[in-house]
Amino acid sequence: MGTGLPALCAARGVHRKLRPMGPADEKAPCHREQESRESGAEARADGAHGEGRESPKRKKSRVRPQSKKAGKKAEDLGPHAQALVAQMRDAVASDNKNNKSQKPAVEKMALLDSLYGKLINRKYQSALMDCGVLAAIRTWLEPLPDRSLPNIKIRRSMLEVLTHMKVDAAHLESSQVGKIVNFYSLNPREDRDVRKLARALASPTMTGVDEIEYFEFVPVSIIRELQEDIQRRTQKSIEAASFRGIPCISRNKKHALEAISQSLSRNLFVFQNFVLQTIFSFPRHFCIERKATDLRCEVNVQKLADEFLQIVEEEKYLRGERMRLEGEIEAERFAHAHYERLLLHESDISAIAASASELQRLSAEAEGMCQGFVERQLQRDTGENEAVELRGIKCEMYRKERDELYQRASADMLLLYIRQVGG
């Protein structure tokens, strides 16, 4: 079923209920211009054929079966449509690559003029839809890698092309083009004409949408209620674990519960002041599709705190294990470096070992020489001792002989003996 382009939510998409457009539906300016051209063509055809000719005959000729030649022409448009969509994708890839390299992205601008006429041509639209032209248009409208928007001429031309297309629900869901259209309709910094075109495409009165459900956008008031509910539960858990005002839970667990509450409050402040107020402005027809009771906190905060403490303990244990392993690795690295130094000085160590062997041999020779010297010294000492003993014996014998002579001989004989001995 052909319908206009529905609007999708900028974050996660919008679920829509579609109905056929009635005669009372409001028409967009581009559709009014197209219908005026068609009515003018019909009026000129009526003037050419005469005023008396009835219009039902014309309508009957319009709905007659398609000829084989026309069907063949429609089949021949498929390769051309595929080539056109491939050309669009190649231009996007080239511009993204140039943008990342900080070069001018001009491929889409160079292709835009020749592309615009083919995209708004009705005979190409069916084949283009089957080839995924909506997804290609979405990539043309998406921001560049440096977060800058495409050229305003590209944005305006692509949105004008979408106003000339009749999109069915299947192609709309598969392409997700409604997200980027809704983004341009909600962006307060967008050009006025571009935002007007996007709002016309996203208008429920134009597309015949009965209901819009924003599944992922939750108002700040409901998020604040959720935060207060979590803080209340956290405080209740702390108070329940105390006896007469004295806390019975550990200090770490109490700090964990307070950290959860403070983190939630800080994130809410950032979300409220730097996301919603600076990026999105919700449309007037925005309404809460979910009740506040659907967002009540049913999470066990005590269990979350226990899991948080368990994670902290595991982190401490793993940090200790890491330090131990780092110490072992450092010891192994030191030993490896020592072995490498030994290998570098292997020749010096071999020379030292050879020198040690030579010193050992010389030491053995010196020890043998010393032992021989000691033995000779002992022999000499023994000879000296024997000589001393022999001298003492001779002296003693001489003394005895002298004493005997003193006793037996006269004085003249003694003088003679002394002279002989002295001589």
- Closest to 31 in 3D by CA, of 262, 207, 156, 249: 207
- Closest to 239 in 3D by CA, of 263, 258, 223: 258
Q: Return the number of other C-beta atoms located less than 10 Å from residue 203's C-beta.
A: 18
Enclosing domain of residue 81 = 15-47+68-212
Residue pair 182/176 in contact (Cβ under 8 Å)? The answer is no
Residue pair 185/198 in contact (Cβ under 8 Å)? The answer is yes
Q: How far is CA 348 from CA 335, 339, 342, 360, 421, in A?
A: 20, 14, 9, 18, 76
Q: Which of 170, 190, 212 is the last residue of a domain?
A: 212
Question: Is 229 in the same domain as 272?
Answer: yes
Question: Is 137 in the same domain as 30?
Answer: yes
Question: Is 75 in the same domain as 188?
Answer: yes
Residue 306 lies in a domain: yes
**CA torsion through residues 201, 205, 209, 211, sign:** positive
Q: Which residues face 167 on adjacent strands?
A: 3
Question: Is 413 in the same domain as 372?
Answer: yes
| pLDDT tens sequence for the chain (423 residues) | 344 333 333 333 333 333 334 333 434 444 444 444 444 444 444 444 444 444 434 444 444 555 444 454 555 778 888 999 999 999 999 999 999 998 888 999 999 998 898 898 888 888 888 888 999 999 999 988 888 889 999 999 999 998 888 877 777 778 888 888 888 888 878 888 888 888 888 754 334 333 333 334 445 555 666 667 777 777 777 676 665 556 566 667 777 777 777 776 666 665 555 444 444 444 445 444 444 444 455 667 677 778 888 888 888 899 999 999 999 999 999 999 888 888 887 788 788 888 888 888 888 888 888 888 888 888 888 888 888 888 888 888 888 887 777 777 666 777 777 777 665
User: Which amino acid, residue 42?
Assistant: E
Residue 163 lies in a domain: yes
Q: Which residues face 247 on adjacent strands?
A: 242
Question: Is 143 in the same domain as 238?
Answer: no
Distance CA 302, CA 299 (A): 9
What is the per-residue DSSP string for 363-386? HHHHHHHHHHHHHHHHHHHHHHHH
Residue 363 half-sphere exposure toward CB, CA atoms < 13 A: 6
Question: Is 22 in the same domain as 131?
Answer: yes
CATH of the domain at 131: 1.20.930.10
Q: What is the pTM of this model?
A: 0.37
Residue 329 lies in a domain: no
DSSP 167: B
Distance CA 184, CA 160 (A): 13
Max intra-chain CA distance, the chain? 211
**Continuous segment of H or E residues that includes residue 209:** strand 209-213
Token representation of residue 270: 């950032």
Token representation of residue 47: 């003037």
Token representation of residue 261: 């509450």
Q: Which of 212, 228, 254 is the last residue of a domain?
A: 212
3-class secondary-structure state, position 165 = coil
Q: Which residues face 246 on adjacent strands?
A: 243
Q: Return the number of other C-beta atoms located less than 10 Å from residue 180's C-beta.
A: 23
Sort strands 242-243 and 209-213 into parallel, antiparallel or unpaired.
unpaired
